[in-house]
Amino acid sequence: MARTKAEFRLNLSFASWHEDIAAALVAVRGRSCYRCGPRPNDGWTGNLSLISASERIARNGHRGGILWLTGLSGSGKSTVSVGAERLLFDRGWQCMVLDGDTLRHGVCSDLGYSPADRHENIRRIGELATVLASGGVICICALISPYRVDRGRVRELAGEAFHEVWMSADIQVCEGRDPKGLYRRGRTGQLADFTGIAAPYEPPERPELVIDTGRMTVAQSVAALTDYAVRVFASVSCEASLQRQTSS
């Protein structure tokens, strides 16, 4: 079937467009690709994009990153996360909360609470947070994440983008805030592998930030996390880090 002149011109324009994009991709490969941290030696060089890290920073006023809140159930991770998200959003920043309970209803819905499933849960969320951070988003991750080795793997994956925040409230404080009765059910054996009761929690050894919600109010805790985020992610704070990434 013969093509009309209009169809032919349309095909030519698409061909030209594809050629332009292909040339641009070749030009940026290995130069503007942004990677958050080390990867296995599999040839992977980062998320391919025509948008450089410096362009995202110039647009957003901040670099992407991960605030990884870890602590016992009831330590205030979710409450402080959404509070900080609100304040950062009001500054015009690109940010979002990745909440462990929420993600267990979706991307991690097939996982339980055995050590192996906990490892996989953190791996998936760490991968997701790293991809979002590479796109300029500040991910506030609120997860118990009880094992140091799992948090360490996310740190290795994300590199300088990763900032560990320990919500250090004592277990007695957390248990007193337990409206769902999770600790009571854990102590009576109704909840197997409940962290802090039947399963261990390994506190961070060198977190970037400690927030003791047993001594601080919600407002103070939210302010502490927000102030830290501004200090480490604001564009004036990340020039040296960006130069190291682009020169490596």
Q: Please list the active-site residues.
A: 145
Backbone angles phi, psi at 140, to 5 degrees: -105, 105
Backbone angles phi, psi at 233, to 5 degrees: -110, -15
Secondary structure percentages of the chain, helix, strand, coil, to 5: 50, 10, 40
Residue 29 contacts residue 45 (beta carbons within 8 Å): yes
For residue 143, give both structure tokens.
């997860």
For residue 83, the Cα-to-chain-centroid distance in whole angstroms is: 16
- The distance in angstroms from the start CA to the end CA of the chain is 54
Report, in angstroms and rounded to the nearest whole number, the Rg of the chain calculated over CA atoms: 22
Q: What is the pairing mode between strands 138-142 and 209-211? A: unpaired
Report which of 83, 71, 91 is spatially closest to residue 224, judged by C-alpha positions.
83
For residue 3, give both structure tokens.
């093509």
Taking residue 222's Cβ as centre, other Cβ atoms within 10 Å add up to 22
For residue 46, give both structure tokens.
């980062």
Q: What is the pairing mode between strands 95-99 and 138-142? A: parallel
